[in-house]
Structure 1
Amino acid sequence: MQYGYARVSTKEQETQTQIDALRKAGVDFVFSEKRSGGDAKRPELEKLLSSLKQGDVLVVYKLDRVARSLRHLLQILDRLNAIGAQFWSLTEAIDTSTPAGRMMMQIVGAFAEFELEMIRERTREGLHAAMRRGSKPGRPRAMTPAEESEAVRLVLTRQATKSAVARRFGTHISSVKRALHRASGQCEIFPEH
């Protein structure tokens, strides 16, 4: 049986293009999730890997959808090999049922990891250069310092929940949590509301 895995990094992105390609390739079931590739805890990927049996095939649209590094990719391949399952990447035309496919998988995986490291290095260099010029990376804060101070005071004195404060200042609850974290350094101790 063929099982597909589709992944995007953020909740704003969609997996539909990957799912369409997997369905077109004849995949029976598709596991899909919205998590960073660097996130070690990907429940849908783990559920998929745990459900594979001998003769099954794990199909992905592209290698970087399933593994965050060559090491991670090789770990997944070892798991598949141990149970007698195969791997197929649609865009890289890699099929591990053949020796040539297994070799190509390792070569492509190494280049994918190299490319990712180059992107990270360029991103770091760009951020450092921007900071040296006086830029402050990241999006602007949703609340002014005075609003943050008031939001923190309201939550800490239990005069309002985080959700109520977010509504009051017209922002997302995450902004309130970040303000609490900046104010205390221990945001985890506050109950969710």
Structure 2
Amino acid sequence: MAPSPAPKRRLIGYARVSTDDQMTDAQLIELEAAGCGLIHQEQGSGGSRARPVLAQLLKEIRAGDVLVVVRLDRLARSVSHLLEVIEGLEKKGAHFKSLQDPIDTSTPQGMFSLQVLGAVAQLERSLISERTKAGLRAAKARGKVLGSPGVREHRPETVRRLTLAREKRYLDPLIASADRWMPTVKRMRPGQPWSDVVQVLNGWGQDWTAERLRRAVRKLVSQRMADPALLQKSPPRPSADRLMTLIAGIAMADPGLSLRDIAVQLERMRERNPRGGTKWNASSVKQQLDQARRAGLILPTSPEDAA
């Protein structure tokens, strides 16, 4: 038999304008002409980190898909941001293409251009660093006292302003990314320990530690954007129940998962089954979920596992 043809890759467009007065019409025309069947639109400043539409797009894009923009400046704030986005796409097996720039990561020529951009970005960072150091040395040689007088003198208004700026730099990207991790936290906490929540999130390709996740939730709680109950201590459970509560947490985090989907995720997380093996099947998952229900955990109705 002849091998089945590879699935046709999806071209997904992304159009962005900086202000409400601007229109995405010209970008839409070019993206549609390039074959994009799905186009996401966003309004946001080029220097802003908060781009919820782009964040959701990058979350949902699949292996083989191609993210298409008209120009590089429609996607990224800087070369380093562009390389960060493309690295995330590569981890998912997706590609990136700019219609008006020689960047297409599905081709050798496009990858070469990307490598050149990376080298330029590194050179730019080095030059800025050297110029900054040279300027500081020259100022010090002239007898100038470096730094802000307000900081040196610990003026309350200066300290307060710096604290607010530092908080904003932490909070803005936290809010922008919350749709990726907060729903899982809400479903699992405080019933499951932070370590289990982290394991579920990292099993989906995220990168958390228990302390960083707890700090992030604590910050949202302080901003009245999350329920303080999430920070309550999880109830003690016998060590034998850990696997049961972990699987229950996965099911609650995404009620649409089938038994087989949960089995695949457990294997990806390198969790051993009750017999100590590394392979999971749907029946083993079902046994753990049935046990969780008998223990009183409120779980979504298990979907039938596909044959």
Q: Which category describes the TM-score, using the shorter chain as reference length?
A: 0.5 to 0.7
Distance 1:27 1:18 in 2: 11
Distance 1:7 1:29 in 2: 14
Q: Among 59, 65, 79, which residue is 1:70 paired with?
A: 79
Match of 1:21 in 2: 30
Give aligned-pair identity as a percent. 48
Q: Among 105, 111, 116, which residue is 2:114 paired with?
A: 105
Cα deviation digits, residues 129-178 of structure 1 (max 9, x gap):
xxxxxxxxxxxxxxxxxxxxxxxxxxxxxxxxxxxxxxxxxxxxxxxxxx
What's the offset of the Cα at 1:111? 6.9
Q: Among 79, 83, 104, which residue is 2:88 paired with?
A: 79
What's the offset of the Cα at 1:103? 2.0
Unaligned runs of 5+ in 1: 115-193
- Find out whether 1:47 has 2:47 as its counterpart: no
Judged with a 3 Å threshold, the aligned counterparts in structure 2 of structure 1 residues 109 and 65 are, in CA distance, closer, same or farther, namely farther
Distance 1:54 1:36 in 2: 29
**Letter of the structure 1 residue corresponding to residue 30 of structure 2:** A
**Letter of the structure 2 residue corresponding to residue 14 of structure 1:** M
Which fold has the larger relative contact order, with Cα–Cα distance below 8 Å and residues 6 or more apart in sequence? 1
Distance 2:70 2:26 in 1: 9
CA contact (8 A) 1:94 1:105 kept: yes
**Letter of the structure 1 residue corresponding to residue 106 of structure 2:** S
Distance 2:119 2:73 in 1: 11
CA contact (8 A) 1:9 1:35 kept: yes
CA contact (8 A) 2:102 2:113 kept: no
Cα deviation digits, residues 70-98 of structure 1 (max 9, x gap):
11001101100000000010011421012
Match of 1:57 in 2: 66
What's the offset of the Cα at 1:53? 0.5
Distance 1:109 1:62 in 2: 17
**SS across alignment from 1:53:** coil
Distance 1:83 1:42 in 2: 20
Match of 1:137 in 2: none
**SS across alignment from 1:31:** strand
Distance 1:109 1:27 in 2: 27
**SS across alignment from 1:104:** helix
Distance 1:83 1:95 in 2: 16
What is the Cα-based RMSD across aligned positions, in Å? 2.3
Judged with a 3 Å threshold, the aligned counterparts in structure 2 of structure 1 residues 111 and 31 are, in CA distance, closer, same or farther, namely farther
- TM-score, normalisation: structure 1: 0.55
What's the offset of the Cα at 1:102? 1.4
Cα deviation digits, residues 6-50 of structure 1 (max 9, x gap):
001111011110011000000011111110121111011111111
Which aligned segments of 4 or more residues in structure 1 are displaced greater than 3 angstroms?
A: 106-112
CA contact (8 A) 2:15 2:42 kept: yes
Unaligned runs of 5+ in 2: 1-9, 124-307
Considering only CA atoms, is the larger Rg found in Structure 1 or Structure 2? 2
Residues 104-183 of structure 1 aligned to structure 2 (within 5 Å):
104-107=113-116
Match of 1:31 in 2: 40
**SS across alignment from 1:20:** helix
Match of 2:11 in 1: 2
**Letter of the structure 1 residue corresponding to residue 44 of structure 2:** R
**SS across alignment from 1:67:** coil
Distance 2:76 2:67 in 1: 12
Distance 1:22 1:108 in 2: 23
What's the offset of the Cα at 1:107? 3.4
Match of 1:12 in 2: 21
